[in-house]
């Protein structure tokens, strides 16, 4: 089998920032044609987040390979006809406009679904299409705050945001999976559907464990840095040579093995203060001091060997520069290159792998790179969609 699952699927996306481009790039990875509609005056504002990647934005490079860029001012006289011809040939329409903007532009889901019954529409917003927060600004950090992620991330002294855009990634992931489900449903029914995904709903879903813990336990999980709020020992520990190792003891059987095989302190396994996880959490500071006293006399290599011998889950705490040279990534060939306006760039392969079928890894487009070709394809090569009339 040589083709990709979404070969022949066309996606039109009025997208910017992270969530929607994350969803559509995954569709492109699987073979879909993604036409990215961008404002002519700068395009997707993620293009200008930074200039770290040889003058290109690291976010844009990550999210927009394998797409075609169509520069189109959606308020220009030519825009309605361009969009109509695009959408009559499309399978999926994705947008992450501000609430109400799609309707004002004639691109609301209800109108499109009435005109194009087979079209799948996906709307991505901050808080959803209704409710008191409908029109609130919804940048990733704001959603992390409202969904409570900040309250459980960080140290006892200070909350911290996730180091990656968790709300955006969550919403993009749900949009991607929702679109795949809708495409499958359309194969059976012949009819498209509307999908609505919000950053807030997505991140609240990811907060399921701490919300349940709080509702039924009466208190929220404590912020515990790199430690686990509800399991001990579980977190970053340092060997005598400075090597940082994350270890995870998940149950009492593993605790006994950890005491015997790693610490060489079998007496701790039966210590009343550490006998089960509840007691280990209650005496976490004392527990960690006992562990540190042993680990201080070991090198990182010696500690990892003992952890292997005891079958205790563990990992190195790596800096990003070390991840770039990670032996697992190297062994599996997980880096490749993609073309871009700045030349060839390194990129990770998609997480979804299909043996015998290479993912699509086409270039990152420059703004409006495909405008003329797309207009010719639509028999609109005389149209000028790039600017609206003065007003």
- Catalytic residue set: 228
Rounded CA separation 290/266 (Å): 12
Write out the two tokens for 285: 């500071």
User: What is the full DSSP assignment across 103-154?
Assistant: HHTT--HHHHHHH-TT-EEEEEESS-SSSTTTTS---HHHHHHHTTHHHHSB
**Coil, strand or helix at 320:** helix
The residues near 11 (Cβ < 8 Å, ≥ 6 apart) are 24, 27, 28, 32, 33, 34, 35, 90, 91, 92, 93, 94
Rounded CA separation 82/336 (Å): 35
Burial class (CB in 10 A: 0-12, 13-18, 19+), 185: middle
List residues bridging with 357 in a β-sheet. Answer: 354
Burial class (CB in 10 A: 0-12, 13-18, 19+), 119: buried
Reference 196, options 174, 181, 180; nearest CA is: 174
User: Taking each helix axis from N to C terminus, what angle separates 19-29 and 166-189, rounded to the nearest 10 degrees?
Assistant: 50
């Amino acid at each position: 089998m040589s083709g990709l699952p979404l070969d022949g699927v066309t996606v039109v996306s009025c997208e910017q920032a992270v969530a929607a481009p994350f969803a559509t790039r995954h569709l492109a990875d699987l073979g879909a044609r993604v036409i990215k509609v961008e404002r002519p005056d700068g395009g997707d504002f993620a293009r200008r987040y930074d200039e770290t990647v040889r003058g290109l934005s690291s976010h844009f490079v990550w999210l927009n390979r394998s797409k075609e860029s169509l520069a189109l001012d959606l308020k220009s006289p030519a825009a309605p006809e361009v969009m109509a011809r695009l959408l009559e040939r499309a399978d999926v329409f994705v947008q992450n406009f501000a609430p109400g903007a799609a309707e004002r532009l004639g691109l609301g889901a209800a109108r499109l679904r009435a005109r194009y019954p087979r079209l799948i529409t996906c709307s991505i917003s901050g808080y959803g299409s209704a409710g008191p927060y409908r029109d609130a600004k919804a940048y990733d950090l704001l959603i992390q705050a409202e969904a409570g992620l900040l309250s459980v991330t960080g140290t006892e002294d200070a909350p911290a945001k996730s180091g990656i855009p968790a709300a955006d990634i969550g919403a993009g992931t749900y949009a991607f999976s929702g679109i795949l489900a809708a495409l499958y449903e359309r194969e059976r029914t012949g009819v498209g559907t509307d999908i609505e995904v919000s950053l807030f709903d997505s991140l609240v879903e990811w907060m399921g464990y701490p919300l349940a813990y709080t509702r039924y336990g009466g208190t929220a999980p404590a912020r515990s840095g790199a430690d686990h709020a509800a399991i001990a020992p579980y977190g970053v520990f340092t060997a005598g040579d400075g090597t940082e190792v994350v270890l995870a003891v998940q149950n009492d059987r593993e605790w006994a093995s950890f005491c015997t095989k790693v610490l060489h302190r079998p007496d701790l396994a039966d210590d009343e203060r550490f006998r089960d996880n509840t007691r280990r959490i209650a005496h976490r500071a004392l527990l960690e001091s006992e562990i540190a006293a042993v680990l201080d006399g070991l090198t990182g290599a010696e500690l990892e060997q003992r952890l292997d011998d005891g079958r205790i889950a563990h990992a190195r705490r790596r800096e990003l520069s070390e991840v770039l040279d990670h032996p697992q990534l190297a062994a599996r060939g997980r880096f490749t290159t993609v073309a871009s306006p700045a030349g060839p760039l390194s990129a990770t392969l998609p997480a979804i792998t299909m043996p015998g079928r290479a993912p699509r890894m086409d270039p990152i487009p420059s703004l409006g790179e495909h405008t003329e070709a797309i207009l010719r394809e639509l028999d609109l090569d005389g149209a000028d969609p790039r600017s609206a009339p003065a007003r």
